Structure 1
């Protein structure tokens, strides 16, 4: 089987789960992949311009020979009833091109985000094998009519595919009620990009407590401000694009640094004494399994995280310290800063949590 992958993110973006999956599929099978770029599945917002700019700055410049990228054209009206009918003329050439590429070959169709186009492609090919890889609670990121439309599309998609993969316990609980074939496939890490685990033998009087990633509506600025005041002699370093700025003046020991390429971000993590994941506990984060957790731990960093999403199940995990209130931050940071990994434990963590290990253990027909 060849793969048709309907991606939730552009190919020219920070390498994520979709990129890792298609790369694994090709290594595993040697077969070609058709990658269908995302298109607007809600009404446009002004913040989309900033996100597009961030994606272009972090773009992957190379396209391997085994990958063919198709970009669907669409009017940004998908939340409206009948949008599929209005866009079908724009999508017909794309579906015809895929059929020409495949001929009589049986496709494997994997969908990374609910959309009307995904449903149209499934309907056009009627594949024996298909997967919806649920990586987020997508409706939670939408509002109004767009939210209702996305929830409806997602339910239709779950019923249309053969199997559902889920990246978190919350998503597993949700979709197991509606689908018999649900496979838990947590996020993972790219071991090829990792630097050697940090050497924490040298004590620094001034610690660096750091976060790398997007600062969005889910980012807990109150938690960060409390941490900065408790650890006024340390540096709180935040690296990444800021879409939701702090609603108050920040303490002077908080550093805000711009986003950077993935390899540079990993090198920056090696300068941390403790890795932070300060997310709010709400509808946006209940289904999240943060990739930065795997990267922090693979680099030998202790992690202090709030108790959101998949992190709340890691209270007993080595080197992982879960904050349940503003009152426990100080104690947890002291304990985390003293934590030391062995080289053996770091390597075991890496081997158990690579993308290859995840996908090899998943329920998939090749």
Structure 2
């Protein structure tokens, strides 16, 4: 049996199963879920259960997506667009049971990145329930109305809770007895390639210097007015913006001859872009959507050997505010001034302190610690032999209770 590259998405295996419920597509951008789940896939059968996609078909069904070079399976439910929320949740619970039965999955680990998927899985007899709260989703634009209630239910059922930063940890620490903070980590060796003389991508190589850049999802969390002010004040600077748009449109983006919106690029391409930047930007807006974020970009930029200018995101200030390589600027004038200070040049002495800080922030280290917490709660649950409250069988697609596979 080939456990690394199964012949079919549902190929049986002796390895334990982990079902990760994510609001993010596996192949959207490479961030926390991808870093951690790709590591869990080395020891588990890994299923990424993604948000449902509307269909004109009159029946629900599942799409299985395999990805070259990995054993991860992405599961994309398709549901009739006209159905109510209750109909969709009932169907999703049934589809989940079908998948588990076909794949021979028994007592999987259930790992949640979104509380909105808890209702469809709460009936499953799980080896453990994990809530990795990497963002305060309720503060994001277009947050679903049932999110708070579903999070409360998930927090009550979870064996262990992780948070993506210190601020969100402090906001939720009183709601669970086994909660741990794991801020954004970094694949240091990957981004350290930017310190070498990499060949720059053609769409950036032609831009005049100095170059100041940002990569990441471009959404309501960015201060677009700050980007416009930066470009207007220093027309000789090239502002490089890399990433997909989410929840905003092209018409929302500031336009200027020296602002270059390059679109989304692959994770493997980022070091080559970073290697051509003189300053790395973190122009986040100060609003509810950024109050609890712990951006992965800070350690990635530093690992790539580029100094950072950031707006005062609380977790960035807390973790990096005393580091010489990261300058915090609360308004456009001081943001521009901080960029100018970096461009004036102060040698590479800052790198030593930055590298010391990054030494313990690897995704491998984060994964090992999370795995240790998971092993402990699995042992505890196994010894207590206590399935989730309310488990009394699995829901078939028609809503009739059936026995577990």
Q: Same fold (TM over 0.5)?
A: yes
Using the TM superposition, give the Cα deviation of residue 294 of structure 1 relative to its aligned residue in structure 2, in angstroms.
Answer: 1.8
Within 5 Å, give how 1:134-213 maps onto structure 2. Answer: 134-143=133-142, 147-191=144-188, 193-198=190-195, 206-213=209-216
On the 8 A contact 2:243/2:264 being kept in 1, the answer is yes
Residue 63 to residue 9, structure 1, CA distance change in 2 (3 Å): farther
Structure with the greater relative contact order (CA < 8 A, sep ≥ 6): 1 or 2?
2
Kindly tell me: are residues 182 and 262 of structure 1, through their superposed partners in 2, closer, same or farther at Cα, counting changes over 3 Å? same
Cα distance in 1 between the residues matched to 2:144 and 2:21: 20
Structure 1 residue 88: Cα displacement: 1.6
- Give the conservation status (yes or no) of the 8 Å contact 1:189–1:291: yes
Once the two structures are superposed, what CA deviation does each residue of 1:91-147 show, in whole Å capped at 9, x if it has no partner? Answer: 3143143145455x54321111112x433323221x35211111111122244xx64
State the Cα distance separating 1:281 from its structure 2 match: 0.5
TM-score between both structures, scaled by the size of structure 1: 0.80
Aligned equivalents of 2:254, 2:158: Cα separation in 1 = 48
1:282 and 1:308 in contact (8 A); partners too: no
1:296 to partner: Cα distance: 0.7
1:1-12 → structure 2 map (5 Å cutoff): 1-12=16-27
Contact 2:37 / 2:46 at 8 angstroms: preserved in 1? yes
Larger radius of gyration: 2
TM-score under structure 2 normalisation? Answer: 0.73
Q: CA RMSD in A?
A: 3.1
Note if 1:327 corresponds to 2:333.
Answer: yes
Query: Structure 2 CA distance, aligned partners of 1:130 and 1:114?
Result: 12
1:172–1:354 distance in 2 versus 1, CA, 3 Å: same
For residue 263 of structure 1, report the CA deviation from its aligned partner: 1.8
* Separation of aligned partners in 2, 1:253 and 1:339: 25
SS at match of 2:232: helix
- Deviations, residues 204-262 of structure 1 (Å, cap 9, x unaligned): x9411111122212221221222223333222222223435576864432222222222
**Mapped contact 1:228–1:251 kept (Cα < 8 A):** yes
| Match for residue 46 of structure 2 among 16, 28, 33 | 33
Aligned length, in residue pairs: 336
1:69-148 to structure 2, matched below 5 A, reads: 69-75=74-80, 83-84=85-86, 86-99=88-101, 101-102=103-104, 105-115=106-116, 117-125=117-125, 127-143=126-142, 147-148=144-145
Shifted more, 93-102 versus 353-362: the winner is: 93-102
Q: Which residue of 2 aligns with 1:56?
A: none
For residue 38 of structure 1, report the CA deviation from its aligned partner.
2.3
Cα deviation, 1:185-207, whole Å, max 9, x if unaligned, reads 1112234533524269xxxx941
Deviates more, 1:158-167 or 1:257-266: 257-266
Q: In structure 1, list runs of 5 or more residues that go unmatched.
A: 45-58
